[in-house]
Amino acid sequence: MSSAARDARPESFPRAAPAALANAQVRANIRHATGSIRAKRAGVVAEVPDWEALREAGAAIKDATLARLDEVLIELEASVEAAGGVVHWARDAAEANEIVTALVRAEGADEVVKVKSLATDEIRLNEALEAAGIQPIETDLAELIIQLADDRPSHLLVPAIHKNRVEIRDLFRTRLGRPDLSDDPSELAEAARLHLREAFLRARVAISGANFAAADTGTICVVESEGNGRMCTTLPETLITVMGIEKAIPRFRDLEVFLQLLPRSATGERMNPYTSLWTGVRAGDGPKQFHLVLLDAGRTRVLADPGGRPALRCIRCSACINVCPVYRQTGGHAYHSPYAGPIGAILAPQLEGESGAVASLPFASSLCGACYDVCPVLIDIPSILVHERGKAVARERAGVEGRSLKLLGRAFATRARYERAQRLGRSLQRPVARNGWITHFPPGPLAAWGRSRDLPALPAQTFREWWESRDRA
Amino acid sequence: MVDRVALFVTCLADTLFPQVGQATVTVLERLGIEVVFPLEQTCCGQMHANSGYPGEAELLARRFVEIFDGFDAIVTPSGSCAAQVREHFPGLLGGDDRGVPGRTWELSQFLTGVLGLADVGSTYEGTVAYHPTCHSLRLLRVGDAPLRLLRAAPGVELVELPDAEECCGFGGTFAVKNAEVSTAMLDEKLAAVVASGAGAVCACDSSCLMHIGGGLHRRGIDVRPVHLAEILAS
């Protein structure tokens, strides 16, 4: 994707989906990748005897934290500062980007290495850094691929899930100056490793996100698979962590629950390869300066709505995405948010104030419920989707669907009107019903149905008419 | 022993699939159960609830409770509508549901769970692929109740439906508002139905069968969509 395409005005999900559906290669890549992660997840979850209790514990810890998030954050700030770190509060994306840019400038650095971070994707930190003349270097392999391709991530955890290795080989051949590369995965990984190793050794500033932050100790936790995160959080002199405020947990020992839930739900591993934990700074060991940027960017608005609030429990495992039949068809780009799939459909509209392209996301679901079944913190995603639909309807009003549903609501309100509507349906269908089927549809709400499906015609007798005739007989 | 039930036929079966309601009556009466059909009934409000119209949904839920309050058991041939009543009415009505949700049963749950039956005297002959509809499976949790009923029917040859638990792509207004994605999901389901080699695809929801059946008909695929009640009533 070119940068022009990336910056194009985002389309609503229904408008963006057809292009995604037309890309057979991407659909095949996504089907294959999500299929294998989801099978692995099911296997390692099944072997945990107290999985349901762990889910309940995870949900309970998150809910208790969200209920007094102000206090937890102030405790976190005090703990981080006591350990020699500096805490910054950012109201929105612009404020967070300004803080980070100023911190990098203060170090006199013109490049930074980055650990994979959804929060920084969300605030588009890389664009802000580039605009300030600072080169961000993504060090997670998949994020590096996305950055080199000038593309957008399409999955929370596997941002380049839509690309196959031939595409990656071609990208590395041109962008890493390695025309000799084959599409062997280990060769591709080695090429990236050589490229990144130089950056790690050179960099004076690193930027990370956070999976968890324990308020009692001020300890930040980043969970990853490649070791790039470990390099970023230990080698450079300055480490800046940008963290959504909902990532705070009250106690260090709460990690016991989340470090069991997250890797199994995310990559289908019993334990992820690298779990980095750090508490402020320490003389002679690791970064000399540590900054924690606490990001609101819509989170307090989500917190204020009890119906949507459970979305803030999310630990970004992406299990919901891997089982979602809608995501499997379209991939992540059609969501126009770093948060794709079911969690994106409830989180992105709330974070962005239910405006723009993401406002269509709560409707991008058949409410099949597969997401809720796998969520490690028991987020009832279908119910929140319905709640968000209600907010969208109350905001937008009317339209053909609104008028139809209002009319239907009135028809269902009394037996007489309902039976009249049934009879009316039978006479209205006369011009289009043939041999018990409607196969050609007039323009209107049913035309979209009729593009790929027929509809049985209304039969001569409703059930209730049959019942009444039977009663009489 | 329950010997009298109220039938909630659902607005969809009443209007578009009367044979499903008739089959439900046939099965219940064959088992010696008196079936009452309150003619005031219309719709449980699921479509309104799921489309973002909680006000309308609440009114329809109150109406439903009013109409069915006098019955010890309410039976419906729809996993999705049963789930709306059982799982969503309590929240919509703020506890003012008079116990109706707990007395409302999807047909297969009623037959296996309440009556403790599996063989209900079906004489259906043919190969059948069973599609567990999303709301019966993940909201109502009917488990293998429909399969136990199908397995107990001597003439039914159950064949495996690949990836059976995947959604067919219906999703109410989703099928229209996101028609392209819905169709892509449907095409996968239809491919699975064809691969199963079954002569009929069976489910506990007329809505999903309308979607699958509409897709089969458009593509000229000779597989019959058939509701569980119709197989059991044969």
Could you tell me the strand order of the sheet in which A455-456 lies? A433-434, A437-438, A455-456
The CATH number that domain A3-300 falls under is 3.40.50.10420
Strand blocks (E) in A319-440: 433-434, 437-438
Per-chain mean pLDDT for chain A: 94
Question: Residue A299 gets which letter from DSSP?
Answer: H
> Are A409 and B42 an interchain contact pair (Cβ–Cβ within 8 Å)?
no
pLDDT per position as a tens digit, A210-226: 999 999 999 999 999 99
> Are B18 and A463 an interchain contact pair (Cβ–Cβ within 8 Å)?
yes
Residues of chain A contacting B39 with CB distance shorter than 8 Å: 415, 464, 467-468
Given a cut of 60, whether residue A6 has pLDDT beyond it is no
Q: Which CATH number fits domain B126-233: 1.10.10, 3.40.390, 3.40.50, 3.30.70?
A: 3.40.50
Q: Nearest CA to CA, how far is A298 from chain B (Å)? A: 22
Cβ burial of B164 (10 Å; 0-12, 13-18, 19+) is middle
Residues of chain B contacting A364 with CB distance shorter than 8 Å: 174, 178, 181
Q: Nearest CA to CA, how far is A274 from chain B (Å)? A: 34
Given a cut of 80, whether residue B216 has pLDDT beyond it is yes
Model pLDDT, residue A473: 75
Determine the residue of chain B that is closest to A395 in CA distance: B52
pLDDT per position as a tens digit, A180-211: 999 999 999 999 999 999 999 999 999 999 99
pLDDT per position as a tens digit, A22-50: 999 889 989 999 999 999 999 999 999 99
Residues of chain B contacting A408 with CB distance shorter than 8 Å: 43, 47-48
Model pLDDT, residue B95: 86
Give residues 154 to 183 of B whose Cβ lies within 8 Å of A: 165-167, 169-183
> Are B182 and A366 an interchain contact pair (Cβ–Cβ within 8 Å)?
yes
> Are A458 and B16 an interchain contact pair (Cβ–Cβ within 8 Å)?
yes
Model pLDDT, residue A184: 93
> Are A364 and B172 an interchain contact pair (Cβ–Cβ within 8 Å)?
no
B64 touches chain A (CB under 8 A): no
Tokens 């009249």 correspond to A420
Residues of chain B contacting A418 with CB distance shorter than 8 Å: 11, 42-43
pLDDT, average across residues A81-97? 98
Model pLDDT, residue A397: 64
> Are B217 and A21 an interchain contact pair (Cβ–Cβ within 8 Å)?
no
> Are A329 and B181 an interchain contact pair (Cβ–Cβ within 8 Å)?
yes
Token code pair at residue A81: 């500062």
Token code pair at residue B5: 């039930």
> Are A413 and B50 an interchain contact pair (Cβ–Cβ within 8 Å)?
no
B221 touches chain A (CB under 8 A): no
Question: Beta strand A433-434 with A238-244: parallel, antiparallel or unpaired?
Answer: unpaired
- Among A382, A392, A415, beta carbon nearest to B42: A415
As a dihedral over the C-alpha atoms of residue A312, residue A315, residue A318, residue A324, rounded to 10 degrees, the angle is -40
A43 touches chain B (CB under 8 A): no
Residues of chain A contacting B170 with CB distance shorter than 8 Å: 366
Query: What residues contact A422, with CB distance under 8 A and at least 6 apart?
Result: A458, A462, B14, B15
> Are B37 and A389 an interchain contact pair (Cβ–Cβ within 8 Å)?
no
> Are B180 and A389 an interchain contact pair (Cβ–Cβ within 8 Å)?
no
pLDDT, average across residues B168-179? 96
Please say whether the beta carbons of B71 and B30 come within 8 A.
Answer: no
> Are A453 and B185 an interchain contact pair (Cβ–Cβ within 8 Å)?
no
Residues of chain B contacting A401 with CB distance shorter than 8 Å: 51, 173, 176-177
Which of B7, B9, B15, B209 to mutate against chain A (most A CBs within 10 Å)? B15
What percentage of chain A has pLDDT greater than the value 70? 98
pLDDT per position as a tens digit, A414-449: 999 999 999 999 999 999 999 999 999 988 878 999
pLDDT per position as a tens digit, A310-359: 999 999 999 999 999 999 999 999 999 999 999 999 999 999 987 788 99
pLDDT per position as a tens digit, B64-113: 999 999 999 999 999 999 999 999 999 999 989 999 999 999 999 999 99
Model pLDDT, residue A446: 86
> Are B14 and A325 an interchain contact pair (Cβ–Cβ within 8 Å)?
no
> Are B214 and A456 an interchain contact pair (Cβ–Cβ within 8 Å)?
yes
Could you tell me the strand order of the sheet in which B4-7 lies? B34-36, B4-7, B74-76, B104-106
pLDDT, average across residues A279-301? 96
Residues of chain B contacting A14 with CB distance shorter than 8 Å: 177-181
Query: What residues contact A4, with CB distance under 8 A and at least 6 apart?
Result: none
Give residues 287 to 346 of A whose Cβ lies within 8 Å of B: 325-326, 329-330
Complex ipTM value: 0.97
pLDDT per position as a tens digit, A385-400: 999 999 999 887 667 7
pLDDT, average across residues A63-84? 98
Q: Nearest CA to CA, how far is B47 from chain A (Å)? A: 9
For A436, phi then psi, to 5°, come to: 80, 5
> Are A406 and B21 an interchain contact pair (Cβ–Cβ within 8 Å)?
no
pTM of structure:
0.95
pLDDT per position as a tens digit, B114-163: 999 999 999 999 999 999 999 999 999 999 999 999 999 999 999 999 99
> Are A370 and B139 an interchain contact pair (Cβ–Cβ within 8 Å)?
no
> Are A461 and B18 an interchain contact pair (Cβ–Cβ within 8 Å)?
yes
pLDDT, average across residues A400-422? 92
Query: A-B interface: how many C-beta pairs under 8 angstroms?
Result: 188
A412 touches chain B (CB under 8 A): yes
Q: Nearest CA to CA, how far is B56 from chain A (Å)? A: 6
Which of B180, B185, B217, B219 to mutate against chain A (most A CBs within 10 Å)? B180
pLDDT, average across residues B161-170? 97
A23 touches chain B (CB under 8 A): no
Determine the residue of chain B that is closest to A393 in CA distance: B52
- Among B50, B213, B218, beta carbon nearest to A367: B50
Token code pair at residue B59: 């009114």
> Are B181 and A21 an interchain contact pair (Cβ–Cβ within 8 Å)?
yes
> Are B174 and A389 an interchain contact pair (Cβ–Cβ within 8 Å)?
no
Please say whether the beta carbons of B174 and A366 come within 8 A.
Answer: yes
Strand blocks (E) in chain B: 4-7, 34-36, 74-76, 104-106, 126-130, 156-159, 200-203, 224-227
Please say whether the beta carbons of B196 and B160 come within 8 A.
Answer: yes
Query: What residues contact B118, with CB distance under 8 A and at least 6 apart?
Result: B111, B112, B148, B149, B151, B152
Model pLDDT, residue A1: 38
As a dihedral over the C-alpha atoms of residue A211, residue A218, residue A54, residue A68, rounded to 10 degrees, the angle is -100
Give residues 174 to 203 of A whose Cβ lies within 8 Å of B: none
Q: Which CATH number fits domain B4-114: 3.10.20, 3.10.620, 1.10.3470, 3.40.50?
A: 3.40.50
Model pLDDT, residue A3: 41
- Among B51, B54, B178, beta carbon nearest to A17: B178
Each domain of chain B, given as residue ranges in start order, spans: 4-114, 126-233
**What length does chain A have?**
473
Task: Select the more confidently predicted residue: A5 or B118.
Answer: B118
B59 touches chain A (CB under 8 A): yes
Determine the residue of chain A that is closest to B87 in CA distance: A383
Model pLDDT, residue A4: 37
pLDDT per position as a tens digit, B30-51: 999 999 999 999 999 999 999 9
